[in-house]
Amino acid sequence: MSDKQTIFKALQWASSFLREHGRDQNAGEILLMNQLKYTRSRLLAEFRKELSEKDWEQFSRNVKEHAAGRPVQYIMGHEVFLGREFVVNPHVLIPRPETEELVIAVLKKMDRLFGASKQGLRVADVGTGSGAIAVTLKLERPGLAVYGTDISASAIDIAKKNADRLGAAVRFAQGDLLQPLMEIGHKFHVIVSNPPYIPQGEKECLPDVVKDYEPACALFGGEDGLDVYRRFTEQLPHVLEDRAIVAFEVGAGQGDAVSQMMREQFSEGVTEVLYDINGKDRIVLTSL
């Protein structure tokens, strides 16, 4: 291709190149909109506009990186979660729509269980990653006292950056699972988590954009994918208030096993399995 490329020709090339490499052809449009800071309508309206040499080189480099497997979100450096833009990099899991459903379910359950008396309720997002859950809960319900924990120091750095960018007063602590919450010394009214739940044996079945780029510690939950839930249920009684909510995201097909763990640990509570927009068991929610 020549040095001077119109938006139309650049997108034509990207679509063909990505198709040849088995990638989503729409990724080129997403990458170029992000690079030029254009809306889709503006991109379409300016199809005949010439790209600068610098813009063309950057765009072609990004398309080739995605063709090679790097996720679009890591190339752009962000992903949108419930309408807000979160910084992401290979140290954190890319936020997904299923986790948006988890947050919405928690907000609804909090409103039903605690009503208007949510001021000062302590909420913890365990395995916070990018901070998407913790930051969103704080911004949606500013009266909450929200904490985020993660075993990864690099993830905590990203979560803090997102909280600062979005103006969310969330407290973060590094440590394994519920240990940081035990050290804080408070009991919590809400514990929410999207833990690693993919069985180790399914690694080779995952797309390369996931298994080769996203952090393994945020993906894999042991031989059957349930290791972290087992540890959770053992530790939860040490950090929960008498009246509380626990909400987990689970992998499709894991709802029965995780809900049974919670019913055995909290026989006095009410545990339910919620299904996502695709009809898959996705959330296990316990109310005490």
Q: Which residues are annotated as a binding site for S-adenosyl-L-methionine?
A: 127-131, 150, 194
Binding residue ranges: 127-131, 150, 194-197
Task: Tell me how far apart the alpha carbons of residues 236 and 287 are, in angstroms, rounded to a whole number.
Answer: 13
Query: Residues 165, 139: contact at Cβ < 8 Å?
Result: no
Task: Tell me how far apart the alpha carbons of residues 71 and 60 are, in angstroms, rounded to a whole number.
Answer: 15
- Measured CA to CA in angstroms, residue 282 lies from 149, 160, 175, 254, 276 at distances of 22, 27, 26, 8, 6
Q: In sequence order, which ranges of 167-239 are alpha helices (DSSP H)?
A: 179-184, 208-211, 227-235
Instruction: Name the 3-class secondary structure at 192.
Output: strand
State CA 101 to chain mean position distance: 11
Residue with tokens 């999207």: 194
Q: Give the DSSP H or E segment for 80.
A: strand 78-81
Question: Any bridge partners for residue 84, and if so which?
Answer: 81
Binding residue ranges for substrate: 194-197
Query: Residues 52, 6: contact at Cβ < 8 Å?
Result: no
Task: Tell me how far apart the alpha carbons of residues 3 and 212 are, in angstroms, rounded to a whole number.
Answer: 33
Instruction: Locate 149 and state its tokens.
Output: 């924990």
- Residue 206: CB atoms within 10 A of its CB come to 14
- Residue 267: CB atoms within 10 A of its CB come to 8
Instruction: Locate 179 and state its tokens.
Output: 């240990």
